[in-house]
Amino acid sequence: MVNVQRKKTKSPNKKWADKVYQKLLQQHGQLHWWPADSRFEVMVGAILTQNTAWSNVEKAIENLKFADMLSADAIVNVSNVHLAKLLKPSGYFNIKTRRLKNFCKWYLQNGGYSCLRYWSTTKLRKELLGVNGVGHETADDILLYAFKRPVFVIDAYTRRIFSRLGCITGEELYDELRVEFESQLHKSNKLYGEYHALVVQHGKDVCKTKPKCNDCSLSSMCEFD
């Protein structure tokens, strides 16, 4: 008998994800994400919020609502210049015009939510990533908050906060981090949804500055070795 798989994964209990969640929840409370009136609005918001402050996205979404354009049919049929005007406050309006149309075409071609809801999470993610303008985070936002799939969303705040805590390096590939969080937490779209909301809220409120997190309530948890 040669070396039996000595693969015990050094630290079986790297359970920092749950501890940090409890801390964040205690500090910020339930946030009830994603803020939107419909699933489709979630999807639109996920695309418009790319590298953009949410306050600016809200203005663009209000424009779409006021113009009665918050539907896939309306978006694919309107001219690019007109759509770009509505999206203007969210920034990158020319690019986002194309991205939003790309997404809506895909959405309609596949029968909309009533058909897509039956797809597996794996297939949905693969197809979403095939839409030009939809990357990992946008796809997972849509999977989690619009399709209610248990998918943990990774964003810049996640990397910043958890690398400061010493839990991760911050250089990991997107899916590596997603799988790491998902492996530590029970598979629940409610949990993942609240968690991501808390991460963003904490990032905006507390861990704003780059260099260090001095006055951070999580700093007491920096002893994970």
Q: Tokens for 180, please give them.
A: 């790491």
Residue 41's identity, in one-letter code, is E
Distance CA 125, CA 57 (A): 23
Task: Give least dist CB 93 to DNA, A.
Answer: 5
Q: Which is nearer to DNA, 61 or 167 (CB)?
A: 61
Task: Give least dist CB 210 to DNA, A.
Answer: 6
Task: Give least dist CB 108 to DNA, A.
Answer: 19
Interface positions with DNA (CB under 7 A): 33-35, 45-46, 49-56, 59, 88-89, 91-96, 131-139, 141, 145, 155-157, 173, 200, 203-204, 208, 210
- Count CB-CB contacts under 10 A for residue 96: 24
Q: Which is nearer to DNA, 93 or 107 (CB)?
A: 93
Find where tokens 């940090």 sit.
20
The SS3 assignment for 208 reads: coil
Task: Give least dist CB 175 to DNA, A.
Answer: 11
Find where tokens 């009533």 sit.
114
Task: Give least dist CB 197 to DNA, A.
Answer: 7
Q: Which is nearer to DNA, 5 or 209 (CB)?
A: 209
- Count CB-CB contacts under 10 A for residue 130: 11
**Could you please report the per-residue DSSP string of 144-200?**
IIIS--------HHHHHHHHHTTS--S-S-HHHHHHHHHHHS-S-HHHHHHHHHHHH
Task: Give least dist CB 86 to DNA, A.
Answer: 12
Residue from 80, 55, 56, 60 nearest 70 by CA: 60
